[in-house]
Structure 1
Amino acid sequence: MSAKKWSDLYQLFTMVLSIEHWAMAESLSLQRDITRVLELLEILQRCPEIQPSKLAALQRILQSDFCNMIREVYEHIYTTVDINGSAEVKASATAKATVAAFAASEGHAHPRVIELPKTDEGLGFNVMGGKEQNSPIYISRIIPGGVADRHGGLKRGDQLLSVNGVSVESEHHERAVELLKLAQGTVKLVVRYTPRILEEMEARFDKQKARRRQLS
């Protein structure tokens, strides 16, 4: 996606966020704001001096799965970001961070927010990789019948980006496992689907195991 399109995306966020006063940001609900924008667009389409095709295109964008994905990531960042300042400063910084997250994932699947309940049986998936292995942390297995399997959404091949707002992109394997074990209640994960990299990582590990067997 070009720099201009990311700029347009940021402007769209600014427009949606400005529908409600910045002072309301403490009870953030972008879905409410987007719904209000869609209502206003329907009214504007009845104005003869406005081109309805452009408004219809904007409606399709706001109702798309991609826009919903952006909203989920934005709300997750907003509730976890640690920024001192007014609600306006926090909202503006969150919008920029959201655009940066999607821009950084260009050429890959976009980030998704997955929420899973933490139960006595755990979360129902395994992870592999980590800083000590010079690789990202990945979901390597979804346990059949487990929590993640029953709730859906999480995939083998998802890269784990954060756990309850704590980034694990440059963390050791043990740290990611610790965060998952310590999590309670509803666990919020930000992930990105990049199965090819997981396959390459597993192939590398298999070669290392084969070499160790030959040397032993």
Structure 2
Amino acid sequence: MASLTVASPSRGKKPLTIDGDIKRILELLDFLRDKDDITVPREQMAQLKEVLESSFFCSVKEVYEHVYNTVDEEGSVSGKATATAKATIAAFAASEGQGHPRIVELEKTDEGFGFNVMGGSGQKCPIYISRVIPGGYSDRHGGIRRGDQLLSVNGVNLEEATHETAIDVLKATEGAVKLVVKYSPKILEEMEFRFEHTKSFRRGGRHSTRH
């Protein structure tokens, strides 16, 4: 069987990437599985390979790659990778018991995205998809759900954004648009319940904007 080699950036070869790293791990697992003198149980190696090929792990990788491409971290490549890993872990830890962050790619059309958003830092709550317009683009696409918290749009973090900022960011997009969202319907329900009992709602000041 052919031996495995790891490209080293210090030798002028192609830098390591997360996709390349995972591919090498899978190749190594296959290599070790065929060896007769390996003490690690083959069942455990098979389980590890299953994890690395699972849809959940792929979702983690997608979020990591998205954060890595947008995180503002000066210094070495390893420093940026460490900061990205911490941010990714924090995102998943914060969403424990809720939906995990996921990436949804949409196309900005003449009809807009076909969803309403509400909330914002001014209302002391996150930006949420409050309604998916029946028959609209997002409804046909199927990737967006009512109850999704809008974390970022094309790398612009909206976790602490005002309602107005979120609207401006959405309006400024063109063509292919990448959203990072997480499904947290219970929080949206609590937020809507609170809005129902505020003066701003009674005066027609509720923020819910269509896109």
Q: Do they superpose with TM above 0.5?
A: yes
Q: TM-score, normalised by structure 2?
A: 0.81
Partner of 1:87: 77
Quick check: which one's helix share is greater? 1
Cα offsets for 1:127-148 (capped at 9, x unmatched):
0111111211100111223222
* 1:47 pairs with 2:35: yes
Cα offsets for 1:83-130 (capped at 9, x unmatched):
222322222221222112212222322111111111222112110111
Q: Which residues of structure 1 form unaligned runs of 5+?
A: 1-18
Distance 1:132 1:210, change over 3 A: closer
For 1:41, give the aligned amino acid: L
Does the 8 Å CA contact 1:22/1:88 hold for their aligned counterparts?
A: no
Cα offsets for 1:146-198 (capped at 9, x unmatched):
22222222111001111111111111111101100001222111111110111
Larger radius of gyration: 2
Paired positions, count = 193
Distance 1:211 1:72, change over 3 A: closer
Q: What is the CA–CA distance in structure 1 between the aligned matches of 2:172 and 2:64, rounded to whole Å?
A: 24
Partner of 1:140: 130
Residue 210 of structure 1 deviates from its aligned partner by: 11
Does the 8 Å CA contact 1:163/1:189 hold for their aligned counterparts?
A: yes
Partner of 1:196: 186
Residue 64 of structure 1 deviates from its aligned partner by: 1.4
Q: Among residues 12, 24, 48, which one is paired with 1:36 in the alignment?
A: 24
Distance 1:137 1:210, change over 3 A: closer
Q: Among residues 145, 152, 176, which one is paired with 2:142 in the alignment?
A: 152
Partner of 1:8: none
Q: Among residues 99, 107, 110, which one is paired with 1:109 in the alignment?
A: 99
Distance 1:20 1:115, change over 3 A: farther
Q: Among residues 195, 198, 202, which one is paired with 1:208 in the alignment?
A: 198
Distance 1:20 1:112, change over 3 A: farther
For 2:82, give the aligned amino acid: S
Cα offsets for 1:49-99 (capped at 9, x unmatched):
232111111111101121011011001001111222232222222122211
Q: Which residues of structure 2 form unaligned runs of 5+?
A: 1-5, 204-211
* 1:172 pairs with 2:162: yes
Percent of matched pairs sharing the same residue: 56
* 1:120 pairs with 2:94: no
Structure 2 counterpart SS, 1:76: helix
